[in-house]
Amino acid sequence: MWCVRTRIAILGRFAHSVSCLRHPGVVVSRPILESLWRAGAEPLMLLPIDEPAGMDWSSRLAGFDGIVMPGGADLNPTRYTDEPVDPHVYDVDDVQDAADISLIQWARHHEFPLLAVCRGLQVLNVAMGGTLEQHFDPTHQHLRHDVAITTAHDLIGIAKESANVSCHHHQRVARVADGLTVVARAADGTVEAVVGTHEPNIVAVQWHPEDTSAADPVQQQVFDAFVQRLVDAAR
């Protein structure tokens, strides 16, 4: 018998070049979709639109159970600082930024379950009043390393004191937003996971669990735990 899957909205990412298309694309990585599918969800991509109809999330998310904010390019630094833009900042898109921030604000207002990954965590932090370090060196690009789970937290789905994770980012949280609690850090102090201090619907990781989730049950559990909370809430 076919069971109705939990529907999860993923806001797509603009891509300037996609080899199989004749035009720029809007994409979501295959591994994150497959990770959510293995967890029992039906992931569906939404188009980022910076116009009133595009920001009508109550209508657009009718029938959905949760949101995943995936990785992507850099957030425009003017949204969190007056400092000059670092030359390492890349592929800024103001439509993407506006849609991401609007969706996060809507999710918080409606207590809608949200899992944020990499850029998603960074945008979440900025949307809630925090800041980012525009570039740090050595970066965490193409890096596998251990992170310390500083708070045993069921919300991120990893009931261990440490985990080996896959990272790809050159920016990181500078000032943690009020309303977010850090639950994991790297050895160099980089914030690796946060949850909502008083908003249990918010979970975010700086690493990419989808990179290794097909072979690593610990990383798959990040998606499993998120989807299970949605299933439990629907009962």
Specify whether 20 is catalytic. no
Residue 30 burial by Cβ neighbours in a 10 Å radius (0-12, 13-18, 19+) = exposed
Identify residue 189 by its one-letter amino acid code: G
Specify whether 210 is catalytic. yes
Specify whether 23 is catalytic. no
Query: Which is catalytic among the residues 16, 88, 118, 135?
Result: 118
- 128's CB contacts (< 8 A; 6+ apart) are 104, 108, 177, 178, 179, 180
User: How far is CA 109 from each of CA 35, 58, 132, 169, 178, rounded to the nearest angstrom?
Assistant: 27, 11, 23, 29, 16
Q: Which residues are catalytic?
A: 118, 208, 210
